[in-house]
A = this chain, B = another copy of it.
Amino acid sequence: MAEATVNLSLAQVHQLSVDTLVHHGMALEHAESISRVITAGQRDECNSHGLYRLISCVDAIRKGKVVLDAVPEVEDVSLAITRVDAKFGFSQLAFDRGVESLIDKAHVIGIAALAVNNCYHFSALWPEVERIASAGLAGLAMTPSHSWVVPAGGTKPVYGTNPIAFAWPRPGMHPYVFDFATSATARGEIELHRRAGKKIPLGWALDANGLPTEDPEEALKGAMLAFGGHKGSALSAMIELMAGALIGDMLSSDSQEFDDGAKVTPCHGELLLAFSPKMFGGAGAASGMERAEAMFNSITSQGARLPSQRRFEARNRSIDNGVLIPEALYKDVLALTGR
């Protein structure tokens, strides 16, 4: 039997999200920024980053830690760096307030950085690097989380699931985009296995004694592993350093301590970089773009997929037909506003 679903337009998804957040006391500008990201997640069928996220978002609001009417403060640090102090609000409005400056600077001097500090962060990074790519720039983004991941050769968690995202602009096409956690799997994936009573593969996690485990329950008490062994572990450390220490913000362990058991989405910083192929490439800029396209073609022509290909296919469908929300989820979201 097919699951019962509700068909919503993207505008309806956005409005439902805004209404829910405003109902819970979120300032309208924040609600709009967050809802654009939630709508993008739903549109691209990244279901865990769609309307489903409103549930944990409202939970975070109810816990009273996030500042719902925080006014992000933009600081022009240098010709190449913009900083936005999110003032302990959610990250999305802070990003929106800083991204134009990031893009302008990258166009002028070829490379620029946006540091977002003191933000509660729960969203995927691809909407942000895609925003950068839409301006004809390459974008790179990274952020710590809470310390759940063990360093290679260790037994105790230090790193967060530390996502990294990258986008390369493709004129007239969706950009080349990836966005992945540097942990072997998402924490939610282990949780799903636990709920389903299923074993997890070896290589995902260690138990509380630092031994490899297939038991999701033990894994959640223990530590997750980085993807790709010591290399993924090293990258995860780099993300702590670049999106934490470099920008004078919390690392995953500091953020977890700051959370103090509330289990709210992590509060810390985010680093975004933008690069201008036009400025970097100089006389070779046009051939650089062509070589990139030739590489994409050599990937897809052998039947391999580009990282975000499924997501873009979903996007095209959703723009035409709206999205299908499971009825149970739709009811859960309506219930958040007592409907």
Q: Which residues of A contact B (CB under 8 A)?
A: 75, 77-81, 83, 108-113, 115, 117, 138, 151-156, 158, 166, 168, 176, 178, 180, 182, 227-232, 234-235, 237-238, 240-242, 244-251, 253-254, 273, 275, 277, 279-285, 287-289, 291-292, 294-295, 298-299, 302-305, 307
Contact = CB atoms under 8 A, between A and B. Distances in A.
Contact of A168 (B241, B251, B302): B241
Given A230-B307, A288-B246, A282 B77 contact: yes
A77 B168 contact: no
Nearest to A153: B304
A30 to B, nearest CB: 24
A288 B81 contact: no
Contact of A109 (B80, B166, B178, B292): B80
A169 to B, nearest CB: 10
A19 B295 CA distance: 41
Contacts of A176: 237, 241
A287 B280 CA distance: 33
19 contacts: A79-B80, A81-B279, A81-B280, A111-B112, A111-B113, A115-B280, A155-B302, A158-B299, A168-B245, A176-B241, A178-B237, A232-B232, A241-B292, A245-B289, A246-B280, A247-B284, A251-B292, A251-B294, A253-B295
B251 A307 contact: no
Contact of A248 (B83, B234, B285, B302): B285
A229 to B, nearest CB: 7
A275 to B, nearest CB: 6
Contact of A228 (B231, B246, B254): B231
Please name the 3 residue pairs, one residue from A and one from B, whose CB atoms are nearest each other, closest first.
A248-B284, A228-B228, A154-B304
B248 A282 contact: yes
A247 B158 contact: no
Contacts of A156: 298, 302
A238 B178 contact: yes
